[in-house]
Amino acid sequence: MYDKPLPIVDPDTAPYWQAAKEHRLLVKRCLDCGKAHFYPRELCPYCHCDAVEWLQAKGTGTIYSFTVARRPAGPAFKPDTPYVVAIIDLDEGARMMTNIVGCPPDSVRIGQRVEVAYEDVNADISLPKFRPA
């Protein structure tokens, strides 16, 4: 039984989570200014144009910053402590929060290259986590 918070999927985000289930990482890109953004939105948050499209990201990026949680975000995360919560700069230019897995928490560094590694937490939701590339 997975007891950590699960995304409450809505019409805005359903395509993203459907793709994640298929182990594809989607971001949105503006057809006007060309910038990618994350989380996905109806309007480009940079130029406010409404011509935005889904773009399949390569799933690689660089750690922008991170923390090692020594105290859990609620009881469900307690067995995982210590664990890494990081912000990743995807190579497409968008920035997202994730967990860094597959390495000791104390080895994680800003600037480290990482790649996506999905965790299938139930039949509907797969969470894109990242591991050292």
Q: In this chain, which of 85, 91, 101, 132 binds other proteins, going by CB under 8 A?
A: 85
Query: Rounded CA gap, 114 and 23, in Å?
Result: 16
CB of 26 to other proteins, least distance (A): 12
Query: Rounded CA gap, 52 and 47, in Å?
Result: 11
Per CB under 8 A, 130 contacts other proteins: no
| Structural contact between residues 127 and 80, judged by C-beta atoms closer than 8 angstroms | no
Which string of b and e fits 37-67 if b means at least 16 CB within 10 Å?
bbebeeebeeeeeeebeebebebbbebeebe
User: Interacting stretch for other proteins, rule CB under 8 A, among 2-10, 25-33, 49-57?
Assistant: 2-10
Site for other proteins in 90-119 (CB under 8 A): 95-99, 110-111
| C-alpha 56, offset from chain centre | 13
Per CB under 8 A, 31 contacts other proteins: no
- Work out the number of other CB atoms within 10 angstroms of the CB of residue 5: 10
- Cβ closest to other proteins, residue 53 vs residue 106: 106
- Cβ closest to other proteins, residue 80 vs residue 91: 80
Q: In this chain, which of 56, 67, 107, 122 binds other proteins, going by CB under 8 A?
A: 67
Write out the residues near other proteins by the rule CB under 8 A. 4-10, 13, 38-39, 64-74, 76-77, 80, 83, 85-87, 95-99, 110-111, 127
